Structures are given as structure tokens and as C-alpha cells.
Amino acid sequence: MNKETIQKSLRDSVLVRWAMLITVGFVLAANYYFYDALSPLKSTLTRELGFTSTDFGWFVSVYSVPNVFFLMAVFGGIILDKLGIRRTGFMFVAFMAIGALITAYGASDMYRNDGMGHAFMSSFMSGYSPELKMMLLGRFLFGLGAETSIVVISKIIVKWFKGKELALAFGVKLGLARTGSMLALILSPRLIQAEAGWTTATWFAAIFVTSALLVFIIYMLFDFKLDKQVEKSTLESKSDPFRFSDLIKLISNRSFIFVTLLCLTFYSAVFPFFAFSADFFANKFGLSEIKSGEIAAMMPLGTMFFTPLFGFLVDKYGKAASLMIYGSLILTAVHLCFAFTNISPYVLMVVLGIAFSLVPASMWPSVAKMVDEKRIGTAYGFMFSVQNLGLWAFPILAGMILDGTNIEGAKSIDYTYTMIMFSCLGIIGFIFALLLKREDKVSGYGLNLPSNSK
């Protein structure tokens, strides 16, 4: 394969590679939309289905169970490195769609009126409602597919953008993902007011995810054409048999471990808070569900702009390790302000959006500097599994803290102790960011150098 042929491949067309990013970005937006679609509906779930704060915490956290206890994101990354993008992506996006549809069905009147599976779900664990159990099953299957699909999309971006605008591409990808979150927080409180009933919000989210499966099939056609144009070894390393020694080598890399632990603590301080944020605003500031959802949407709205900007800056100027430190500090400060001040939530959510742009825009492209491309799927899969340990544990812990520190039936819920917990996670993440920067001076990966310099 000569150089001239390679230059004419699809990935060397600016228009095509960015079109592919938008295509898989739609899949990611649907993923994030469904993940956050029920976040502003916590009080509705309590009113309609009898969910407690702990029940809601379980619902949020069960998403991460397959990736924490079955290591599906790790195995998904291994499967990705072995089977490739198309087969792995289709399989796991299909799991997302099936899980989303089951979740919507579990909340529906059809199911509640003795629909299929209702009697079975009523036959065990009587302390939990059949609606909660069916929705937990759907959320579990959605999580089974969702995290590995993110790993797939991360590898897609490395495939199309490595050596080009990699950090910017990751920034745009994350911005598109946050678009899904923003739309969920704005639309869900409005969709519950539809004439067809509040479950319109859950069905809309499920259909959105199902449409993402169709969009991914479109991407598969272009991916196939790209592999036909250019020898696969020039884009992805050849499919070597997976060896556990590769995983041992990965987790022996101190820089990789520090960035993974930063990923764990940082995301644990953001996503679980985000799941409770609309309810937090409603209780602390006395706002309606719609207004609370709009304020919560300020964070993903900010990341839509800030993440690509910071990605561009990392590509051009570097400083990824330093930006991770700054993002962790800002995150901690925001949570402390939420806990102990009455600063406008609009302002704090925009600032939180800056923190939530600084760290991911710096962290994910940095991994590509630490890990051989043939094992990038395994690396991202490992990181997502560790990340999901926090996404499983901390929503449950947040719900338990709320139920344990508030009187049942109280007019409003006090979130002070929960926000202190999130602040502590930010401080721990700051420590790991410092350790990562120090280790980078030894390892020489050049995390503070521009993307095209390594």
C-alpha cells in the first residue's frame, strides 16, 4: 500500500471523518439521553411508583452492575480488540436498545395492568415493587451495552483521528454526548405532562436509543469501506490473541493507574450528583421540576462548548496533565459551594460544566499516549469498568445518606451531607491528578505536550 493510496482513504477526508464523528456522536447522545432521562423525574417516580431515594439510587446504580461485577467493559474492550468495531458495536448498541425498551415497559400502564412479566416480578422480593424490578432489569441490560458502546466509539475516534485532531475529536464527542444529557433534562419534565401520560418521557427515551442502533448500522457501512481502502494494519493493529500478560502490563503502568483512579473519583463526583441534581435544586431552592431540569441542563450545555475548546487547546498547546489538576480543584469548589452557600445554581452549574470539560478533554486522549493502539480497547474497557465501580456505589450511598439524614415525609430534603461526600471525591481526584503529573515526568509520555508531538 503506497503513500498516495493511503492519502486517498476516507479518514484523510476532513469532511468524511468529521461526518463519522457526528454519526457515532448521535449514538453517544442517545446513550446519555437515556441515562439521564429519569434524573429530573425522581419526584414523579416517588409519586407514581412509590420509589424512595434509596430505590432511585439503586435504579441509577444498577446501570453499572454488569461493568463492576461482571467486568463487561473490560471483556467488551477485549472483544472489541478481537472482533473489531462493527460486530462489537452492533452487538452492544443492540443491548442498549433492548434494555431501554424493557425499562420503558416496566414503567408503563401496560405492564402495571398485569402485563407480561408482572406476575413473575411480583412473586419474589416482595419488599420491592414489580415496577422497580422490571425497570432494574432494563437498566441492567442498558448498562451492559452502554459502557462497551462508549469504548467502541472511543476506539472509532482513535481509528479516524490519531495523528490528526485527536483531542479536539474527543472534545467534540464529549460535547455531543452532553447534548443528550441536556436534552433529557429539558425534555423529560415536559414530556411527563403529555396527554398520553408521564410514561411518554420513558418511551421517548427508549425510541431514541433504538434509532441509534439504525444510525450505527450506517456507520458500519463506512467503516467497512475504510477497511477495504486501507490495509487494516495501518489503522488498527492486527488482531492478536488476547493475553492476560497484556492486562498485567497495562495495570503495571503507574501513569495508567493514576489516570484510571482519577477517572473513578472524578466521574463518581459528577454523574451520581447529576442523577440527583434536579431533585436537589427542587428541594434546596424550591423550584419546579421543569425549572430544576433546566438548571441541571446548564452543565451539559456548557460542556458542549467548553469540551471541544479545551480539546483544541490540548491538541495545539498540550498541558493535559495540568488541566486535569485544575478541573479537579474546580469540581471540589463547586460541590462545597452547593453544600454551604446559596450561590445561584445557574452560575455553579456553568462552572461545573467547565470542570467537566477540562478533565475529560485532557484525560481520554492522554490514554492514547500511554497505551499501544492494538490494546486501546482493552485499556478503555478497564477504565470504564473501574469508573463504573463508582457509578454503582455512589448513587446508592447518596440515596442512603438522604434517607438516613432526613425525616420521612419531610417537606424538603436536605442534601448537605451528600454534597460533602461528592466534595471529598473531588479532593481525592485532585490528589490522583497531582500524582499523574509527577509520574509523567518519569514515564516520559508527554501528557503536557501537544497531541501531534507524540
C-alpha cell at 144: 451492559
pLDDT for residue 1: 41
So where are the chain's domains?
Answer: 12-228+244-449
pLDDT for residue 393: 93
- In this structure, the number of other CB atoms found within 10 A of the CB of residue 381 comes to 31
Q: Which letter does DSSP use for residue 240 in this model?
A: P
pLDDT for residue 354: 93
Distance CA 277, CA 196 (A): 26
Return the biggest CA–CA distance within the chain. 72
Please give the C-alpha separations between residue 155 and each of 11, 70, 280, in angstroms, as whole numbers: 14, 21, 36
pLDDT for residue 454: 45
Supply φ then ψ for residue 253, to 5 degrees.
Answer: -85, 110
Question: What percentage of the chain exceeds 90 in pLDDT?
Answer: 56
In whole numbers, what is the pLDDT of the chain averaged over residues? 88
Sorting pLDDT into bands at 50, 70 and 90, what band is 426? very high
Please give the C-alpha separations between residue 448 and each of 257, 313, 318, 325, 365, in angstroms, as whole numbers: 17, 11, 5, 12, 11
C-alpha cell at 436: 499523574
Question: What percentage of the chain exceeds 70 in pLDDT?
Answer: 94
pLDDT for residue 72: 81
Please give the C-alpha separations between residue 343 and each of 40, 295, 335, in angstroms, as whole numbers: 21, 13, 11
Per-residue pLDDT reduced to its tens digit, 5-21: 444 678 888 899 999 99
Per-residue pLDDT reduced to its tens digit, 324-350: 999 999 999 999 999 999 999 999 999
CA angle 268, 337, 364 (to 5 degrees): 35
pLDDT for residue 231: 61
C-alpha cell at 17: 471523518
The whole-number average pLDDT for the span 421-434 is 97
Distance CA 454, CA 45 (A): 49
Per-residue pLDDT reduced to its tens digit, 275-332: 899 899 999 999 888 898 889 888 888 888 888 899 888 888 889 999 999 999 999 9
Look at the block and give the residue holding cell 422490571: 134
3-state SS, residue 322: helix
Look at the block and give the residue holding cell 423525574: 41
Distance CA 51, CA 53 (A): 7
pLDDT for residue 212: 97
Distance CA 96, CA 411 (A): 37
Q: Which letter does DSSP use for residue 420 in this model?
A: H
pLDDT for residue 69: 85
CB within 8 A of 358, min separation 6: which ones?
306, 310, 323, 324, 326, 327, 330
The CATH classification number of 12-228+244-449 equals 1.20.1250.20
Per-residue pLDDT reduced to its tens digit, 108-133: 999 999 999 999 999 998 888 999 99
**Least confident piece of the model among 35-49, 93-107, 241-255:** 241-255
Amino acid at 47: R
The whole-number average pLDDT for the span 193-209 is 93
